[in-house]
Amino acid sequence: MVKIPLSRFLLMLLMPTTSCSLSTENILVKTNKVVQEIGDMFVGFTLDTYLLRVGWGRFNFSSPKALNLMKAVAPSYIRVGGSMGEDLVFDPHAGPVAHIPPIGKPFKLTATRWDELNEFIHNAGLKLIFAFNAFQRKNDVWDPTNAELLMNYSSQKHYDIAGWELGNEPDLYVRNGRENITGAMMGADFTVLRQILEKSQYKSSLLLGPDMTPLDGYRDPLMREFLSHGGASAVDVVTIHHYYFNGHTAQESSFVSLWWLNKLASRMIHAVDLIDDYQPVRPLWLGETSTGWSGGALHLSDAYAAGFLWMDKLGVCARYGIKGVLRQSLYGGNYGVLQSDMDPNPDYWLTLLYKRLVGNKVFDVTSPSKFVRVYAHCTKLQNLYHYNPGSVTVYAMNVNNDSAILRFPHLPGQDHLDVFWLTPQHGSLRAKVVELNGQAIVYANNVIPPLPPKTVTSGSVTIPPRSFGFIVMPHANLASCKSQSHGPVIG
C-alpha cells in the first residue's frame, strides 16, 4: 500500500477529485425526518472534587487565559463532583487549609474556595452544578444539615446555582470501601433534597442524579430501585457516567478501535429505554464522561487521539436521545481539555467548533463504510460564520488507514461545502497541536484564532486517514432547519 503524505491529503480537500484509487462514500443524510433534538447546552464540562481537596491545584481562576477560553464555549454547564465529594464538608468559617488531608478523610470546602469558583463561573457565562456529600448520614438517612448550610451561604451571596446532585457512582460505594446505600435509600435521600430545594431560593435549580456508572444489565436493578422508590419523581435529570476503558492500560489503537466505538450506541439505547419505563419520564445525561477512567491515558486522552471517541460520543448521544454530555474534565487528570498551564488541548478546539456549528435538530445518517462514521444536524442558527437558516452541518471521522472521498448526493447545495477538517501535527495521534485545514491552531496573546473554513466546490471532500472534522452545507436550504428551537435548558 502506497502511503501519501498528510500534507497532500489536506491539499486535496480543496481540489476536485478525479482519482479512482480512493474509496468514495456516498453518505445518505435522511433529512425527511428530525429524529432528535438537543439543547444549546448539550455539551458541558466537569471539575473533579479532587481539585477542591488540593485547593484547586494549579487551576488559576484569575487567569485571563482560562476565562477567555471558557467564554468562547459558553453557555455550558460545569459540574463539580466526584468520588472525593463523599468526604467534603462545607465550613464557611474555616480559614486557609494548612495541609491536604489523607485520602478517605474529611476535608473542608472553605468559603474562599466556593467564592472563587462561583466568581469564575459567573464571569465566564457558565452554569454550575454541584454534588453534595451523600455520606453525611444519621441512622441510614441522609442528613441535609451541611447541604443547607452551603445553600444558605450561596443564597446570601446571590450565587446562581443551576443544579445540585447528591453522591457519585453509588454502584461503586461498596467496592470503594464505603457503606452500601440501596436504590430505595437513594430515592428517599433525593426526595428529601427535592423538598428542601422547593422551600429554598433554589426551587428552580435542577436536581440531577444518581450519577451511576453505565447501565449494562448488572447495574440495572439499582437504577430501577432508585427510580421506583421516589427517584423518578425527585430528579429533573437522570445521570449516568461513561468511560470506555482503563486509562492506565489503554493503547493508542484503543482510541480508533471499532470495537469500542460500536459498543456505545447499544449502551445508550439500553439506558434510554430503561429510564423511559418510569414515570414521570426524565431526560438522561452523561453526567461525567471521557475516554479512560483513572484519570485517562497520558499522551492520548490529552492528545489528538482522544478526538475520535469524543466526537463519536457526541454524535451517538445526540442521535439516540441523550440530552446532555458533560466532559471529564475541564481541567485535571490526563483528559482535561485545558492543560496545567491553561493552554487548550486538541479536544478543546473540537468542542469549540461543535458548539459553533452544530445545531439542535438531529438527522439520521447512513454511511456505507464502517470506517467512516458520520453525523448530521441542522447548522446552529446563531453562528459566527453567518450561515443562512436552512444550512446543514455534518461531522465525520475516518478511522481507517486509507483516505476516503465523501459525497452527499441527496442534499442540495453541493457546489459549496465549507470544510473544517482537524488533523494532528506531524501526523501523530499523540500530537498536542491540532491543525485546521493544514494550519496549526495557535492560541496566542489571549486571542481565540478565527478558525476559518476552506470552501470546496467540487461536490466532494477527500478526508485523510485517521482524521475528523466538520462540513457545512450553507445552501442546503432545508425547511426543517430554518426554524429550529434553541431547546429547553435541561435538553
Whole-number Å distance between alpha carbons of 408 and 203: 47
Question: What pLDDT, on the 0 to 100 scale, is given for residue 5?
Answer: 47
Closest CA to 97 of 55, 147, 57: 55
Question: What pLDDT, on the 0 to 100 scale, is given for residue 13?
Answer: 52
312: left (phi over 0), alpha (psi -120 to 50) or beta: alpha
Closest CA to 439 of 456, 429, 428, 425: 425
Question: What pLDDT, on the 0 to 100 scale, is given for residue 141?
Answer: 96
Whole-number Å distance between alpha carbons of 171 and 210: 10
Question: What pLDDT, on the 0 to 100 scale, is given for residue 78?
Answer: 98
Dihedral pair phi/psi, residue 115, rounded to 5°: -65, -45
Largest CA distance in the chain: 74
| H or E element that contains 127 | strand 127-132
Residues with a catalytic annotation lie at: 169, 288
Ranges of residues in the chain whose predicted pLDDT is under 70:
1-21, 484-491
Whole-number Å distance between alpha carbons of 425 and 165: 40
| H or E element that contains 132 | strand 127-132
Residue 466: Cβ within 10 Å count: 23
Closest CA to 472 of 449, 456, 486: 456
Whole-number Å distance between alpha carbons of 316 and 262: 10
Per residue in 149-163, pLDDT tens? 999 999 999 999 999
Write down the residue that cell numbers 447512513 correspond to. 366
**Burial 382-407, CB ≥16 within 10 A → b, else e:** ebebebeebbbbbbbbbbbeebbbbb
Check: CB of residue 429 under 8 Å from CB of residue 397.
no
Whole-number Å distance between alpha carbons of 279 and 260: 32
Write down the residue that cell numbers 450519577 correspond to. 211
Check: CB of residue 355 under 8 Å from CB of residue 347.
no
Question: What pLDDT, on the 0 to 100 scale, is given for residue 2?
Answer: 38
Question: What pLDDT, on the 0 to 100 scale, is given for residue 98?
Answer: 81
Peptide bond into 64 cis (omega under 30): no
Rounded to two decimals, the pTM is 0.95
Q: What residues does 90 pair with on adjacent strands?
A: 109
Please give the C-alpha separations between residue 411 and each of 57, 230, 391, 435, 455, in angstroms, as whole numbers: 50, 47, 11, 28, 17
Judged on CB neighbours under 10 Å (0-12, 13-18, 19+), 218 is exposed
The tally of CA atoms less than 13 A away on the side-chain side of residue 115 is 9
SS3 (DSSP) at 296: coil
Q: What residues does 361 pair with on adjacent strands?
A: 37
| H or E element that contains 307 | helix 306-319
| H or E element that contains 221 | helix 220-226
Check: CB of residue 137 under 8 Å from CB of residue 143.
yes
Whole-number Å distance between alpha carbons of 337 and 69: 10
Please give the C-alpha separations between residue 124 and each of 63, 68, 121, 166, 491, in angstroms, as whole numbers: 11, 7, 5, 25, 21
Whole-number Å distance between alpha carbons of 50 and 4: 45
Question: What pLDDT, on the 0 to 100 scale, is given for residue 281?
Answer: 95
Whole-number Å distance between alpha carbons of 216 and 268: 10
Check: CB of residue 465 under 8 Å from CB of residue 398.
yes
